[in-house]
Structures are given as structure tokens and as C-alpha cells.
Structure 1
Amino acid sequence: MLLTRVITCLVILTAGATAASPAAPRFAYARHPMQAQPPKGRIQLGKCDQQVVYNLPAQRFDQTATAIAHATGCYIRYTNKKLMNVPVQPVRGRLTRRQALRVALRGTQLHIVRETPNLMEVMRVPAK
């Protein structure tokens, strides 16, 4: 509480000092507005963000990953070859490649663990 009052007093004193000096601009922020910063946690858009119409049946993970990434430059990487035979969900509708992969992996132990504009890496994450 004391710290809050001290900070409030400093803010008031600083505002009073700048208002009293004739050389200080009164509304400096109006001359140089802050640039809008992109929200943190979002990645750049890339080949994995192009929309495509999908009609994929429930099948093995490797077949679905190949169909989603086919001839697009959106690479789906998985290093564990045991993931190839994991059954995944059907994917239908107009979706980005990221959305399509998320739909396919829903309800499985497979998760996207790394994303870049042109890459999605999938690994098995055990249930908690």
C-alpha cells in the first residue's frame, strides 16, 4: 500500500514538472504514436496456412499426413516410425493444413509439438 502511494506521488510530481516546463511538449504521445505490436505466441503464415478442401477417411497417420502435405511445401515431420500405423480421425471440409492435421489427431496420443510457417512436427505424447 505504501509502495502504491509512493508510485502515485512520483507520477503526479513527474506530470507536474513536465507541465510546468514550457519546452516540454504537452502531448508527446500524439506526435509519435506507438506502433501496434503483433500478438505474441503466433507464428508467421506459410504454406501450412493455405486452405484446401479435404475428404479424407479415417486411416493410418502416415497416409493422412501424406495427403495433407502432398505437393504443398508444408512438411509434416515425425521421427518415430511407429507413428505410421496409428489410426487417425477423418478430415472433411475446407481447412488450412494446420487445421486439417489437428482434426486428424483429435482423440489420439499424437500431438503437434513444433510449428513453423512451413513445418509441423508430430510426436506421441502419453496421456496424463
Structure 2
Amino acid sequence: MLSTRVASCLLVFAHVLAGPLSGAACRATTQHPAQPRPATARIKLGRCDQQVIYNLPAQRFDETAIAIAHATGCFIRYTDKSLVNVPVQPVRGRLTRRQALRVALRGTALRIVRETPDLMEVKRVAKPR
């Protein structure tokens, strides 16, 4: 009889110990359900995303812009005519037109300030002090 009482007390004690933990775990999962992941944004690809093999030397910006955009419909816009004579980096390899323009502008004060599927706009930006 004593062993039955000890066994039942131990069973109750084990239940009391496990009860709050399992209850807290259940409440935690019901209070904080998993948030649905947001849909990833789809980038619309255009003419500026077609790959081409380039072998352009270091030259003036306007020459490189014409060579990158040539006969593709990927328009490279710049309204500041002083950008024409800015020297840019050589471009070599199989790249999209976006990648090619970024390679050409690396290390210069020129930046792509606007992009759409078929357009890239370039401006001069002031170097930070």
C-alpha cells in the first residue's frame, strides 16, 4: 500500500513538473504562429539583361556607352554632356549590359542612378569627403 502511495505521488509530482512546461510550450506556439514568408519580388528583365561578349578597351564614356547599348534597345541615358570625355574602365567577358556598364564605371565619379528593364541613366556624383 505504501509503495502504491509513493508511486502515485511520484506520478502526480512528475505530472506537475511536466505540466507547466508543456503548457508553456503549447502557449508559445499558439501565441506566436509562424509568419508566412513574403513573396519575393520579381524583377522584370529587359533588353539590358541580355548577355553579350565584350572586349572593350579603356576609353571615353560615350564610346563605351554606345558600344554597350549598340543595336539592343538598351538605352543608356546621360543628360550632362560633360560626361562624354570621362575615361572609363575596360570591359571584357560575357556580361549583361547592366554588368558591363557597372564594370566600365568602376572607380569613376559616374553612377547608374535609374534603371528600368530597357534603360539605365548615368550621372556624375560628388565624391564623399
TM normalised by structure 2 equals 0.70
User: 2:80 maps to what in 1?
Assistant: 80
Aligned to 2:97: 97
Equivalent residues in 2 for 1:1-128, closer than 5 Å: 12=31, 37-39=39-41, 43-128=43-128
Deviation at 1:35, TM superposition (A): 8.9
The structure number with the bigger radius of gyration is 2
Tell me which amino acid in the other structure corresponds to 2:107: G
* Count of residue pairs brought into register by the alignment: 100
8 Å CA contact retained: 1:43, 1:116: no
The residue that corresponds to 1:22 in the other structure is: none
Q: What TM-score do the two structures reach when normalised by structure 1? A: 0.71
- Per-residue CA deviation, residues 100-121 of structure 1 (Å, 9 max, x unaligned), is 0000000000000000000000
Partner of 1:29: none
Task: Specify the SS of the correspondent of 1:76.
Answer: strand
One-letter identity of the residue aligned with 1:105: L
Q: Percent identity?
A: 72
Q: Within 1, Cα distance between the matches of 2:43 and 2:118?
A: 10
SS of the aligned residue for 1:98 comes to helix
Task: Output one character per residue of 1:58-98: Cα deviation in whole Å (capped at 9) or x when no partner.
Answer: 00000000000000000000000000000000000000000
Q: Deviations over 1:14-73 (max 9, x none)?
A: x9xxxxxxxxxxxxxxxxxx797223xx64110000000000000000000000000000
The runs of 4+ residues in structure 1 deviating greater than 4 Å are none
Counterpart AA for 2:63: Q
Separation of aligned partners in 2, 1:77 and 1:88: 16
**Structure 1: any 5+ residue segments left out of the alignment?**
1-7, 16-33
Distance 2:43 2:60 in 1: 28
User: CA RMSD of the aligned region, Å?
Assistant: 2.5
